[in-house]
Structure formats: structure tokens, C-alpha cells
Amino acid sequence: MQKVSMWVFGLCACLLASAGTAQEAWTVQLTSKQAKAHAEQAGRKAVTAFAISPDGAWGRSHGFQDADQAAKRAMSFCQGELRPRKRDCILFEVAGKRVTPQIVQTRKVSAVYQPLNGRKAAFVFGRAALDFRGNKDGAMAQLATAPTQPSALAQDNKLRAGLTNRTIMTTQAKGFGLWLGDVYAEHLVSTNNGVLVVGFDSWAVTAQGLLCMFNGFWDSGKPVGTKCVLLNSIGNGLVDLSWDGSPNASRKGQLIAGDARFSAAK
């Protein structure tokens, strides 16, 4: 199972009024609060990253073993602090090295997505074009075998390719999401205190529409085991699905064309 040895620390966003065109040159310079946050990043273990906006927002991460993941998390936290018509974030530093030139072109954002807002996710990432119709009786028969590992299911490679690196999530402002990576999967649930996450080390999907995620653990380390959903249909980016515990209760969702686990801006 993929392990993350840290969680990102807090952000501060000091959003100042900005004027100018949607695209404009910016001579990169940290604000006093960005500089203070950047200085606090020094000496952190493993791979770090720092992202900034010309209008004052910033985000940082540390403890990663992978530079891409550290950068993505820092950008996510920075963009999550933006507002429409503010200038977008850029990566300032990764693994202790500055990665941005002295002068960059900036753009104003029109929308900001924060997990797990399904309405904003569809606007920022777009919905994926995938057509699929499941076989509920067949999927239920497969579920009845109580699969505990991917090899227990006859995986449909075409359907898997259409779901990989995308997010199945509800359409409302708060709900749940299923992130399906190349190997790893996550089940995310919105709560009043933030987003709860269950990580799974693998997943599989069949031609009948049974999607199972295996060897799951909460962030606390508490095991979850296998979690399955029945994909009844997918069309025009909209998903009809049922959870394994209530297969006859249909739920409406959407297939987001991107990784909706993190904040983003458009």
C-alpha cells in the first residue's frame, strides 16, 4: 500500500486586491508572510515543496519521498486559498531548489475547486467521456464470492483504462469520492471537520460493473479490508452506482476527468 509519511501543515493566504489583464508578467518576490512561511520550511525532512501566488496565497508540504507528490500537494494547498479573479499559484521551490524563473506570466483564475465539491469539480476538471452499462445480476454474483484480492475478479481492461486516474464522486457540494489511480485507490468522505480518507493498495473492475478496492486502511491505521461498488451505468460523465452494503439503493454521481482529491483552479 502506498504510504505517505506526513501531512501538510497549515497555510496562510493574504489575498490582496489585484488589477490588470488575465495574463501579465510578474517579477517573483515573496511577500513578508510568504517569506516567513518559506523560512519555516527550512530543515524539514525528506522532500519539501513551496508554492505561491502573486496575491499572497501560499502552500507548503514536507515529508514526501517523491518530488512530484510534494509539489502537487503544495500547489493544492496554495490554490485552495485562492478566490476567483486572483492570480494563480506557481511552484516556487521543490526539494530545496528554486524552480521558478525571476519573471513569470501569471493568469487570473475563474473558479477554485476544494475537495469534495462535486459541482466545482465538474467545472474545473470537466467530466470524462465514458459509456458503460453494467450487468447488475452478474455483478451481484461476483460480489457474493466475497473477493479479497484483484486476482479473484476477471478484470475488464478497457473499463479499467477508462476509470484510471479519474474520480467518481457525487454531484453535490459535500459527499464522497473514489479516486482510482494506476494501482492505488482512495475513498474520500466529506465531514464537518474535513475530508476522511481510506487508502487501498489495489483495485479491480469487471465487465459486469463490479468495482472493488482491496486492503484498505484509514489514516489512523485501522484496517477496512475490501470495499466494493456496483457501477450500474456511466454516460455523458454521469454515473449510477450502488454500494456493496445496499446494492438496491441507486446513487447518482459523476466521473471527473482528473484527480479531485486536491484543490485546483481554472
pLDDT of 144-201, one tens digit each? 999 999 999 999 999 999 999 999 999 877 789 999 999 999 999 998 888 899 999 9
Mean pLDDT, residues 1-18 taken together: 33
Question: pLDDT, tens digit, for every residue of 41-79?
Answer: 988 889 999 999 999 999 999 999 999 999 999 999 999
Q: Please tell me whether the peptide bond between 116 and the residue prior to it is cis, using omega within 30 degrees of 0.
A: yes
Cell output for 10: 497549515
Burial 225-237, CB ≥16 within 10 A → b, else e: ebbbbbbbebeeb
| pLDDT one-digit tens code per residue, 194-204 | 889 999 999 99
| DSSP secondary structure letter of residue 192 | T
